[in-house]
Chain A
Amino acid sequence: MSPPDEALILGIESSCDETAAAVVRGGREALSSVVHSQIAEHAEWGGVVPEIAGRSHLRAIVPAIEEALTEANCHPQDLSGIAVTTRPGLLGSLLVGVTAAKSLAWAWQKPLIPVHHIEAHAYAALMSVDHWEFPYITLVVSGGHTSLFRTESPLAHALLGTTRDDAAGEALDKAAAMLNLGYPGGPAIQKAATDGDPKAYAFKRPMLGPNSLEFSFSGMKTAILYKLKGPGGRREEPTLPESQNLPGMAASFEAAVMDTLIRKCLRAAQQYNIPRILVGGGVACNQRLRVDMASAAEKNGVQAIFARAEHCTDNAVMIAGLGYAHLQQHETADLLLDVAAS
């Protein structure tokens, strides 16, 4: 890996419900990071509504870019390229970011750099490491993704396993909705679980066989639904009776999700004899995951490296950072660049 130079990359991210722009120097140093969150716009609906997201991205994209360049004191002529998320994500959302990036690349005559959103989350974790020691086991876990990779370089990730159904963050969202904790579910569950006993309620950790590196969270979702409906499903709507223990329920569910993630990571580290684990994505903000993963990793002689908290949820720093790595390899695109949902 050649050492980072001083190249400035403008990153643009709009794959789901955050409109983000950032300027990063040398793939490492964030000079600015602007994130326009749509959480409040989607909260009423309990999840991301694609049409609301598309409209919001259009409103926010140019102001976000302008703010990122101003905050970085960066002029268009200073930029070495424009990096943008092209996949995976909501098509209508991706199209706004990619159209903006293509417009800038054409107007300013700059290289256009396509970036894979999940690889960028892995890069976010790499950005918190001073000296890279490849390979790594990489977990990217969020509301839309739960995948394990063997990472050989910032640009080379071999998929080891992914979720067969729901993403971990999606399971947290659904559980939070059933417990009337609000949206997004991850932070809401974490807050409700603060003083809860993670052993108060039993939730299975789905391992899917002794060697599997795949995930499945739909069963956990069903398990909490049945717990909330009561024995024999006697309550029509899932509700937690006052006599029951909300912190305990939240803590138990959260622990089950995080334990599953941790066990799979350690299993992958053992199977591939790679004693370094990278963790990125929105769920990587979760404190239980961070603390329990660090503890379990240490016991197993493995190093667990998390993306910085501000780089876990969707952001454009990771897009610009990985864009720099692509540019070093001359991996750029022409104006016919397209988006992809998966």
Chain B
Amino acid sequence: MRGLLALELSSDPCSLALLCEDGRRLTRSFVGERGRALLHEIDTLFKDAQLEPSQLAGVIVGVGPGSYTGLRIACTAARTLAYALHVPTGGISSFDAAMEDGVETHIVLDAYRGEVYHGVGIAEQNHVTIMQTPRVCTIEELRPRLADKKVICDARLFDALADFDPASYTPTAARLLQLACARGVSIDGHGIDALNPAEPLYLRAAAFRPNT
């Protein structure tokens, strides 16, 4: 018996999902304290599934955009578990895991410094077509594009985007697993290598010089 693990820590609530060889799907979620909680949650998930760490088949991680700290914790865990247990790891955009079915969806997250992360796509069951890869822009330049569109945003932007009746942004690890399987990942981990690397989607330089 083996299990595929998915981690989504780019925003709150964070979530984990485990797909077992016998078809069982187990999930857990938690809020905040990602660094403190993650491995404890993984341990609990495996115990609930009655799996040993050595039965891990692969790790899929949501690579953002989102909390840099959350992404680094998730990617560090994914890469280290992959190394320690000789299993593959790969990433999927967290935006992919939040696209709505059958409708052009604009995802807008607060990127601080007066900017937002913005991406556009459409899901058809477990396939996602990306129409705008995630980028950084301002709400002002984005507004004209959002009229009559499905808008999903994080809680910090609800007021600013109230005109567009936004829905809540909730990418989940369970959805990452669905997408991974649709992209050819099998329960024994084959196909994970063909996903994106387990590397945070930062979208911004690590350091910048303020304009003077």
- A-to-B contact residues, CB < 8 Å: 45, 49, 51-52, 54-55, 57-58, 61-62, 65-66, 76, 91-92, 95-96, 98-100, 102-109, 334-339
Contact = CB atoms under 8 A, between A and B. Distances in A.
A14 to B, nearest CB: 10
Contacts of A104: 80, 84
Contacts of B84: 76, 103-104, 107-108
Nearest to B40: A335
Given A49-B207, A108-B84, A103 B40 contact: no
A336 B37 contact: yes
B39 to A, nearest CB: 4
Contacts of B79: 58, 61-62
Interface string B69-108: 1001101110111011100000000000000000000000
Interface string B177-206: 000000000000000000000001010001
The 3 closest A-B pairs by CB, nearest first: A107-B84, A103-B80, A102-B39
B42 interface: yes
Contacts of B207: 45, 49, 51-52
Contact of A338 (B33, B42, B206): B33
A65 B83 CA distance: 10
Interface of B: 33, 35-40, 42-43, 53-54, 56, 68-69, 72-73, 75-77, 79-81, 83-85, 200, 202, 206-207
A100 B36 contact: no
A105 B43 CA distance: 11
B76 A103 contact: yes
Nearest to B74: A99
Given A45-B207, A58-B200, A108-B84, 16 more contacts: A55-B206, A58-B75, A62-B79, A91-B69, A92-B72, A98-B35, A99-B73, A99-B80, A100-B77, A102-B39, A103-B80, A103-B84, A104-B80, A106-B39, A106-B42, A338-B36
Contacts of B35: 95, 98-99, 338-339
B27 to A, nearest CB: 19
A57 B75 CA distance: 11
B55 to A, nearest CB: 11
A337 B33 CA distance: 11
Nearest to A101: B80
A62 B76 CA distance: 8
B5 to A, nearest CB: 11
A336 B36 contact: yes
A108 B42 CA distance: 14
A168 to B, nearest CB: 26
22 contacts: A55-B200, A55-B206, A58-B200, A62-B83, A65-B83, A91-B69, A96-B72, A96-B76, A98-B35, A99-B80, A103-B77, A103-B81, A106-B39, A106-B81, A107-B81, A108-B53, A109-B53, A335-B40, A336-B36, A337-B36, A338-B36, A339-B35
A53 B34 CA distance: 19
Contacts of A62: 79-80, 83
A95 B42 contact: no
Query: Residue among A45, A57, A92, A107 with the most chain B CB within 10 A?
Result: A107
A148 to B, nearest CB: 31
A334 B206 contact: no
A96 B34 CA distance: 11
A10 to B, nearest CB: 11
